[in-house]
């Protein structure tokens, strides 16, 4: 996008192109996560709801959405972590990010071990709390305690 849009006459900053690119990438992966979750709701569950006299809206609200969302959470959590790690593609269009900054510092000061260790620590500080929150959410949804 960053290199193709100017050919079409659209001029956007690197930050905007990077964000739009991640939105498209994340949207595609998230849509697949939701699709997999909703396809995981069995026909017998839907038929049971119909047997109870539920209309389409009630089936969606009380049967398909709760189960489909619960089945989608693991895939969505993995996709969120994947997108955070994919921010390194920003360096291709000259947006500084963690890995690129660490490589610049290594090039300036020739201290690779220290800066690579700091890079690992920075990613750990970002990802470990996120992973803990997503695991907590996954357990809550899995055991039906989300509304409590």
3-state secondary structure the chain: CCCCHHHHCCCCCHHHHHHHHHHHHHHHHHHHHHHHHHHCCCHHHHHHHHHCCCCHHHHHHHHHHHHHHHHHHHHHHHHHHHHHHHHHHHHHHCCCCHHHHHHHHHHHHCCHHHHHHHHHHHHHHHHHHHHHHHHHHHHHHHCCCCCC
- Tell me: the pLDDT tens digits for 122-131? 889 988 999 9
Are the C-beta atoms of residues 86 and 78 closer than 8 Å to each other?
no
**Tens digit of each residue's pLDDT (9 = 90 or more) over 99-138:** 888 888 999 999 999 999 999 998 899 889 999 999 998 8
- The answer to whether domain 5-142 has CATH 1.10.3720.10 is yes
Structure tokens at 126: 């970002």
- Full-prediction pTM beyond 0.75? no
| Segment 25-65, tens digit of pLDDT | 999 999 999 999 999 999 999 999 999 999 999 999 999 99
Q: Give me the residue spans of the domains in the chain.
A: 5-142
């Amino acid at each position: 996008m960053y290199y193709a849009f100017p050919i079409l006459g659209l001029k956007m900053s690197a930050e905007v192109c990077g964000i739009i690119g991640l939105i498209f990438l994340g949207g595609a992966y998230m849509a697949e996560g939701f699709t997999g979750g909703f396809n995981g709701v069995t026909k017998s569950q839907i038929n049971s709801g119909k047997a109870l006299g539920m209309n389409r809206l009630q089936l969606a609200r009380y049967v398909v959405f709760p189960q489909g969302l619960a089945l989608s959470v693991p895939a969505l959590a993995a996709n969120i972590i994947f997108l955070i790690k994919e921010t390194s593609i920003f360096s291709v269009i000259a947006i500084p990010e963690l890995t690129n900054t660490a490589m610049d510092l290594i090039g300036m000061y020739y201290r690779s071990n220290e800066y690579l260790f700091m890079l690992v620590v920075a990613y750990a500080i970002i990802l470990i709390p996120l992973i803990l929150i997503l695991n907590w959410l996954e357990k809550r949804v899995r055991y039906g305690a989300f509304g409590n």
